[in-house]
Amino acid sequence: MRVSKLFTRTKKEINKEETALNARLLLRAGYINKEMAGVYSFLPLGLRVLNKIANIVREEMNITLGAQEVLMSALHPLKNYQLTKRDKIDVLFHTKLNGGGDLVMGQSHEEIVVPLFNQFLSSYKDLPCGIYQIQSKFRNELRAKSGILRGREFLMKDLYSFHTSKECFEEYYKKAKEVYLDIYQKLGIGEKTYLTFASGGTFSKYSHEFQMLSEIGEDEIYICDDCNVAVNKEIIDDVNGCPECKKTKKELRIEKAIEVGNIFPLGTRFSDAFNLKVKDKDGKDIAPIMGCYGIGISRVMGSIVEASNDEKGIIWPEEVSPFDVHLVGLNLDKKEVKQFAEDLYSKLEKENKSVLYDDREDVSGGFKLKDADLMGISKQIIVSEKLLEKNMVEYKTRKSGETEINTLESIIDKIK
């Protein structure tokens, strides 16, 4: 994509009301637009990052967990929430049908997925089964000051699993934990993200969060470096240490963190509410045991920005960088330089590299280099008159800041 065609621009200044670093950087670099507190639109560069994250998650859901993707509605009948006794929770957005009927906007989908399953499930042979979607959720947060970390409208992957036995559920839940840890590795935040024990509710001693270390995190976690797990502060006094190796609270390291995913045992709470039953091997009706597994796709995007930036701007991990390469053309008023840059752009695209090509001629070189650092694409190639005279180009890794001046051939080898 050519920067000259991109309708977004980087911004020097943005509204001071926006205090969250993730949103400030994403707004300045032209990835998102703020519609109101907690509500953002995703612009071309932002949507590319969102899709990259979504596709990494999707692949793990489809292939590793064998889950089936659906797209459930965002409009929900309020009566379903009366059945689960969640009709009074304060994060619901309420609305009404013309002609009568109370609705809420989906903040999660247990109230839709369970009646949906009830249409199809009949026998224990149909289980275990996992279905998921990647879809916008709506939560009427009283305060929304964390940029895209806590949106009133946000993109989420939500998976629901159904099982005939506790053993089957536990096996799936264990596998889901591993899959989640793999996902954070693939998203480039694996090193900072901890499986974290959290409050379990009625059906299980624990639920599990995935907490990414960050100074601006709303959560505090106690980390056990021996077991590579953590405990949410909310339950540390009940547990009094690491649930795996029995180290005491005092021996654990406390850190601030952002919750980048969570998985819950749901027991039969929702199956019971909708009278979901399957026949077991002996023909007896049983209520399936459920689990739910969430990752906020847009929240992960914001978390990555919080975890990976410097004074110059965003630093995308390669895995989610909106483009493979940012090609910065300097001195494009010189015909040979322009031709060289254009040829290189075509060449990279032919090799199936996605390229953001700064082909602007009405902007100074310094401005372009600053823009490239702000936008944070993981690899930069810089073309200029001086370099071209020596038959060289410059290659820069955004993360390390290291630069290398070398022949085009050897730089292209690096990118492959």
Contacts with 82 (C-beta within 8 Å, 6 or more apart), sequence order: none
Cβ 128 to a copy of itself shortest distance, Å: 11
Candidates 32-40, 204-212, 350-358, 405-413 — which segment interacts with a copy of itself by CB under 8 A? Answer: 32-40
The correct pick among 50, 198, 286, 412 for binding a copy of itself (CB under 8 A) is 50
Asked if 90 touches a copy of itself (CB under 8 A), the answer is yes
Amino acid at 375: M
Asked if 68 touches a copy of itself (CB under 8 A), the answer is yes
- Asked if 175 contacts 316 with a C-beta cutoff of 8 angstroms, the reply is no
Cβ 318 to a copy of itself shortest distance, Å: 22
Residue 244 has a CB neighbour count (10 Å cut-off) of 14
Q: Which of residues 143-182 bind a copy of itself (CB under 8 A)?
A: 143, 152-153
- Residue holding tokens 């637009």? 33
The residues facing 195 across adjacent strands are 210, 229
Main-chain phi, psi angles of 205, to 5 degrees: -65, -45
Compare residues 157 and 396 and give the one whose CB is closer to a copy of itself. 157
Compare residues 78 and 405 and give the one whose CB is closer to a copy of itself. 78
Q: What are the structure tokens assigned to 288, written together?
A: 């399936």
Asked if 352 touches a copy of itself (CB under 8 A), the answer is no
3-class secondary structure for 217-267? Answer: CCEEEEEECCCCEEEEHHHHHHHCECCCCCCEHHHCEEEEEEEEEEEEEEE
The correct pick among 36, 283, 335, 352 for binding a copy of itself (CB under 8 A) is 36
Q: How many residues bind a copy of itself (CB under 8 A)?
A: 60
Closest CA to 371 of 45, 64, 115: 45
Candidates 130-138, 326-334, 387-395, 402-410 — which segment interacts with a copy of itself by CB under 8 A? Answer: 130-138
> 407: part of which helix (H) or strand (E)?
none
CA 87 vs. chain centroid, Å, equals 28
Asked if 140 touches a copy of itself (CB under 8 A), the answer is yes
- Asked if 163 contacts 170 with a C-beta cutoff of 8 angstroms, the reply is no
List the end-to-end C-alpha distance of the chain, in Å, as a whole number.
19
Q: Which of residues 92-111 bind a copy of itself (CB under 8 A)?
A: 93-99, 101, 103, 105
Cβ 182 to a copy of itself shortest distance, Å: 22
Asked if 77 touches a copy of itself (CB under 8 A), the answer is yes
Compare residues 175 and 256 and give the one whose CB is closer to a copy of itself. 175
- Cα separation, 231 vs 77, in Å, equals 37
Cβ 17 to a copy of itself shortest distance, Å: 15
- Cα separation, 301 vs 321, in Å, equals 11
Cβ 142 to a copy of itself shortest distance, Å: 5
Cβ 133 to a copy of itself shortest distance, Å: 8
Cβ 149 to a copy of itself shortest distance, Å: 16
Q: What are the structure tokens assigned to 367, written together?
A: 């401005």
Compare residues 112 and 212 and give the one whose CB is closer to a copy of itself. 112
- Asked if 44 contacts 6 with a C-beta cutoff of 8 angstroms, the reply is yes
Candidates 113-121, 176-184, 204-212, 405-413 — which segment interacts with a copy of itself by CB under 8 A? Answer: 113-121
Cβ 43 to a copy of itself shortest distance, Å: 5
Cβ 187 to a copy of itself shortest distance, Å: 19
Asked if 89 touches a copy of itself (CB under 8 A), the answer is no
Amino acid at 149: L
The residues facing 258 across adjacent strands are 212
- Cα separation, 327 vs 294, in Å, equals 36
Candidates 72-80, 321-329, 388-396, 403-411 — which segment interacts with a copy of itself by CB under 8 A? Answer: 72-80
- Asked if 128 contacts 79 with a C-beta cutoff of 8 angstroms, the reply is no
Amino acid at 242: C
Dihedral in degrees, nearest 10, Cα atoms 4, 6, 7, 9: -80
Compare residues 155 and 221 and give the one whose CB is closer to a copy of itself. 155
Compare residues 119 and 352 and give the one whose CB is closer to a copy of itself. 119
Which residues form the interface with a copy of itself (CB under 8 A)?
5-9, 30, 33, 35-36, 39-44, 46-47, 50, 66, 68-77, 90-91, 93-99, 101, 103, 105, 112, 116-117, 119-121, 125-126, 129, 131, 136, 138, 140-143, 152-153, 362
